[in-house]
Amino acid sequence: MPPKSQPDAKPSQEFVAVKKIHDGVLYLKKGGICRVLIVSGINFDLKSEAEQNMILSSFQNFLNTLDFSVQFFIHSRKVNIEEYMEKMKERKEQETNELLKIQIEEYMNFIQSFVDQNDIVTKSFFIVVPYESVHVVNQARGVLSLFKKSAPQSTETIAQEDIQQLNHRVDQVTLGLEQIGLRVAPLEDDELLELFYNLYNPRLVEKKGLELSHKEK
């Protein structure tokens, strides 16, 4: 019997819910937009009991102030030391002291050996802030406007209003998290592409590291 024909593999783009990325905004295929914020972490175990209770209470108050849904997720990734090792190599080549050159070489060998034998994982914390236009919701539900006499809004006007509403939510989330003592920064286009590259290539070392410290104003 002839072998059964295998179905054509679908391109990976079909599994991504994002239609496009522009000015830090994710435009979803099913409608709606969202922004992704990177958030610093807190070493909760090192806090005193009073501090822990205060953090939990502040976080609860933050969630209670939201009248929209948000999504939290943690991205774990094996640390990429290639860039760091390249810098150390350049430092070694620039060093004129032979003893220091030997020490740098030994240090590089130790770091490389340690990483090869141990999985060094870094964790990044993100929060997704969505917004779905009432026009999209009404269209999906088949709701007809009762105000038919009002002039229809252009797509450009609706899109701009949606982005303004989304940014208002982002500001609200940012302020609430900063009051807890966290640092927050929205991801821009290149950083979003980098994040999706890392998410959809789980067996590869990250393309590049996402660092919150580089985004601080």
- Regarding whether 99 and 87 lie in a shared domain, the answer is yes
- Regarding whether 148 and 74 lie in a shared domain, the answer is yes
- Regarding whether 84 and 66 lie in a shared domain, the answer is no
- Regarding whether 130 and 112 lie in a shared domain, the answer is no
- Regarding whether 143 and 67 lie in a shared domain, the answer is yes
Q: What is the pLDDT of residue 17?
A: 79
Task: Give the Å distances, CA to CA, from 20 to 17, 146, 155, 195, 211.
Answer: 9, 32, 16, 14, 23
Any domain includes 6: no
- Domain containing 35 equals 12-78+125-214
**Mean pLDDT for all residues in the chain:** 80
* % of the chain beyond a pLDDT of 90: 43
Domain count, the chain: 2
What is the reported pTM?
0.67
Task: Give the Å distances, CA to CA, from 172 to 4, 45, 63, 99, 166.
Answer: 55, 27, 11, 55, 10
What is the Cα–Cα distance from 6 to 1, expressed in whole angstroms? Answer: 15
Q: What is the mean pLDDT of residues 52-72?
A: 92
In this predicted model, which residue has the larger pLDDT, 148 or 87?
87
